[in-house]
């Protein structure tokens, strides 16, 4: 696995930080669209990682059920 690749936990933490920004005193309407786009990008990456993990678990489960 690539050492530079963010882990799922790191991505989730980063997404949490992005969402928290919307509730912070640093919130600026002018920056909201870009922050929202970044949050969506992070969420899609997390969904892809979770789907990949689900597939891996299903394959492992099938192997053990034989």
Do the domain assignments include residue 24? yes
| pLDDT band, residue 60 (cuts 50/70/90) | confident
Structure tokens at 58: 């299903």
Domain carrying residue 41: 8-65
Kindly report, residue by residue over 3-28, the tens digit of the pLDDT.
568 899 999 999 999 999 999 999 99
Torsion of CA 11, 42, 54, 57, to 10 degrees: -20
Q: How many CB atoms neighbour CB 42 within 10 A?
A: 19
Please give the Cα distance from 24 to 22 (Å, whole number).
Answer: 6
Do the domain assignments include residue 43? yes
Confirm if 46 and 14 have CB atoms less than 8 A apart.
no
Do the domain assignments include residue 56? yes
How many folded domains does the chain comprise?
A: 1
Do the domain assignments include residue 3? no
Do the domain assignments include residue 59? yes
Do the domain assignments include residue 1? no
Please give the Cα distance from 28 to 18 (Å, whole number).
Answer: 13
């Amino acid at each position: 696995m690539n050492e530079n690749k963010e882990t799922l936990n790191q991505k989730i933490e980063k997404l949490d930080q992005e969402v928290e920004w919307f509730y912070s005193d640093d919130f600026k309407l002018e920056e909201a669209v870009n922050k929202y786009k970044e949050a969506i990008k992070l969420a899609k990456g997390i969904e892809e990682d979770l789907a990949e993990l689900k597939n891996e678990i299903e394959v492992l489960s099938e192997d053990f059920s034989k």
